[in-house]
Amino acid sequence: MTEDRLAQAPASFRAFVAERRDDGFRRAVQNLTPEALPAGDVLVRVEWSGVNYKDGLAARSDGKVARISPLIPGIDLAGEVVASDDPSFAAGDRVLASGYDLGVARHGGYSELARVPAAWVVRLPDGLSAREAMAIGTAGFTAAMSVEALEDRGLRAGAGPVLVTGASGGLGRLAIGFLAARGDEVWAASGKPE
């Protein structure tokens, strides 16, 4: 990112950092400068990030998902573009990013500022706030892709009951909602008696 574009970023920002050190595993909110962010085309002022199981693992010494240290966890983020080197995005655009290496091999969303490749950035559709996008989150995105994959294989709304396994989980609960909203009769299978 060019120096003049970087100048549009705040001089410092806060981020939650997980770090493997000689004296142990350290988790702390730190004040960082934009230079601490990885290279990328789009600088985003993060407003919301979801909490995913993977984020918990990324913040534990025995989690086995973090591939860099120090790491800012957060596998998704949503907010506003501060500056962009890619013509597809401009300052003020409302965007989200989810998955890829975010929060595992590259600094993620638990930060007031993030820099991401333009190819990972998606414009927020009208009517969907950054908060709503992250409440649906990566789990909701995955559940929606699962429903879409079933549709691609011939599942038609209302054609018959649809069984959701792992129904009490993050993905399962959202899949139940998406299928019900399509007009499906949903059968939920859960290993939890309650």
For the bound state, the minimum distance from the C-beta of residue 190 to ligand NAP, rounded and expressed in Å, comes to 3
Measure the CA–CA gap between 140 and 52, rounded to whole angstroms: 11
Does residue 52 belong to the site contacting ligand NAP (CB under 6 A)? yes
Measure the CA–CA gap between 59 and 72, rounded to whole angstroms: 9
Segment contacting ligand NAP by CB under 6 A, of 62-70, 109-117, 122-130, 168-176: 168-176
Segment contacting ligand NAP by CB under 6 A, of 55-63, 64-72, 134-142, 149-157: 134-142
Does residue 142 belong to the site contacting ligand NAP (CB under 6 A)? yes
**Could you give phi then psi for residue 133, rounded to 5 degrees?**
-60, -40
Does residue 36 belong to the site contacting ligand NAP (CB under 6 A)? no
Does residue 49 belong to the site contacting ligand NAP (CB under 6 A)? no
Query: Which residues sit opposite 29 in a β-bridge?
Result: 16
Measure the CA–CA gap between 135 and 126, rounded to whole angstroms: 16
* Residue from the set 138, 164, 176, 178 that interacts with ligand NAP by CB under 6 A: 138
Does residue 170 belong to the site contacting ligand NAP (CB under 6 A)? yes
Does residue 167 belong to the site contacting ligand NAP (CB under 6 A)? yes
Answer for the pair 45, 77: CB distance below 8 angstroms, yes or no. no
| Helix or strand (DSSP H, E) at 81 | strand 76-84
Segment contacting ligand NAP by CB under 6 A, of 22-30, 62-70, 106-114, 164-172: 164-172
For the bound state, the minimum distance from the C-beta of residue 39 to ligand NAP, rounded and expressed in Å, comes to 26
Answer for the pair 135, 49: CB distance below 8 angstroms, yes or no. no
Sign of CA dihedral 110, 112, 117, 118: positive
Nearer to ligand NAP, 51 or 155 (CB): 51
What single string gives the DSSP state of each residue in 100-113?
TTBTTTB--SSBSE
Does residue 168 belong to the site contacting ligand NAP (CB under 6 A)? yes
Instruction: Report helix, strand or coil for 76.
Output: strand
Segment contacting ligand NAP by CB under 6 A, of 22-30, 55-63, 166-174, 178-186: 166-174
- Residues engaged in binding ligand NAP (CB under 6 A): 52-53, 138-139, 142, 166-172, 190-192
